[in-house]
Amino acid sequence: MSDVGLSAELVAVVLAVDDGHPWVLAAGEPPALPAGPLRVEEESLQAGVREFAREHSGFDLGYVEQLYTFADLGRSSDDRRMVSISYLGLTRAQIAGSVRPTDWSALYDLLPWEDRRHLDASGADRLGEEIERALRRWSIGSEERLDRCRFLFAYDERPWRPDLALQRYELLWEARLVAESPSAGSISALTAGPMLHDHRRILATGLSRIRAKLQYRPVIFELMPETFTLLALQETVEAIAGQHVHKQNFRRAVEVQHELVEPTGEVSHETGGRPAKLYRFRGSVREERAQVGTKLPLPR
């Protein structure tokens, strides 16, 4: 049996929200997350990720955490076993003003089924309907498959779980409904083209992680400018969660229940209507962000 070469790399899922639109640092054809060899001169992997992201985007990362190490055979285009250590990073990027704006991709162009903000009162959703029909066909004769589909895609009055983005991608891959699947079906044209290697799986891992973090840590401010309106804060949360939140419940949670923000005494005239108060995150949130959660009212 021949020896298989081993290579190690860093892969970064760098997310930003600009004017209510979520973006991920991913460029090329097919789109690829920034990745590169480990650098032995860096003091830590996290320092390496920060420097790596700065080189690729021109922005400094705020929040950084390790996601997962991907090491399955067959991940690269040759015979090497590629070990990818993935990290999630958040940055306050204005995409239009970035050094290389074309290096960014719209997040939900790559994971389109994860954006439910467009659903109207009737719940009309062409992509969702196509996926449901395909998954129900795939589940014929298997109650276990059907139960997974119901749970992950909120069928038959089940609640939608934003934090299960990775599990939904893996289910679609198994059902051959995404382009990366072996012998993918025709519906894969609706679920977007493939990313390089398994980078879409890595992206889904990062999205699951940040959505889960919104429930118990105030990481959202890493995506916000120094001052902001409550509407801009809500739109940023919705952009990452992929669904709308109840406006009054959201504001009550932010202003009263958890004392996340404080008014600056200034207003913004950019809303198009009456001036909106500007806020900033409280100093205690910045100091205690690893211990204190936002507990923002995401729909369940």
208, part of any domain: no
Q: What is the CATH number of the domain that holds 221?
A: 1.10.10.10
**Do 11 and 45 lie in a common domain?**
yes
Each residue's pLDDT tens digit, 117-170:
887 555 668 899 999 999 999 999 999 999 999 999 999 999 999 999 999 999
The residues that bridge with 56 in the sheet, in sequence order, are: none
Q: How many domains does the chain have?
A: 3
Secondary structure of residue 35 in the 3-state scheme: strand
Task: Specify if 195 maps to a domain.
Answer: no
Q: Does residue 206 lie in a domain region?
A: no
The model's pLDDT over 236-290, given as tens digits with 9 standing for 90+, comes to 999 999 999 888 888 887 776 556 888 899 998 776 678 889 999 887 665 655 4
Instruction: Flag whether pLDDT at 297 surpasses 50.
Output: yes
Q: Which amino acid is at 143?
A: E
71: nearest Cα among 84, 61, 90: 84
Q: According to the model, what pLDDT value does residue 208 have?
A: 97
Contact 48, 10 (CB under 8 A): yes
Q: Before 30, cis peptide (omega within 30)?
A: yes
Domain that holds residue 138: 112-190
Query: 54 and 17 in one domain?
Result: yes
Q: Angle 230-234-237 (CA atoms, 0-180°, nearest 5)?
A: 140
Residue 181 lies in a domain: yes
In a domain, 296, yes or no: no
pLDDT exceeds cutoff 50 at 235 = yes
Is the distance from CB of 22 to CB of 240 less than 8 angstroms? yes
What is the C-alpha separation between 10 and 168, in angstroms, rounded? 24
Indicate the DSSP class of residue 27. Answer: B
Q: What is the pLDDT of residues 59-102, one digit of tens each?
A: 888 888 989 887 765 556 666 677 888 999 999 888 866 666 67
pLDDT of residue 292: 44
Structure token pair of residue 220: 């959202």
- Whether 251 maps to a domain, the answer reads yes
Q: Phi, psi (5° rounding) for residue 271?
A: -80, -15
In a domain, 201, yes or no: no
Q: What is the CATH number of the domain that holds 19?
A: 3.90.79.10
Q: What is the 3-state secondary structure (H, E, C) of 162-212?
A: HHHHHHHHHHHHHCCCCCCCCCCCHHHHCCCCCCCCCHHHHHHHHHHHHHH
Q: Are 139 and 225 members of one domain?
A: no
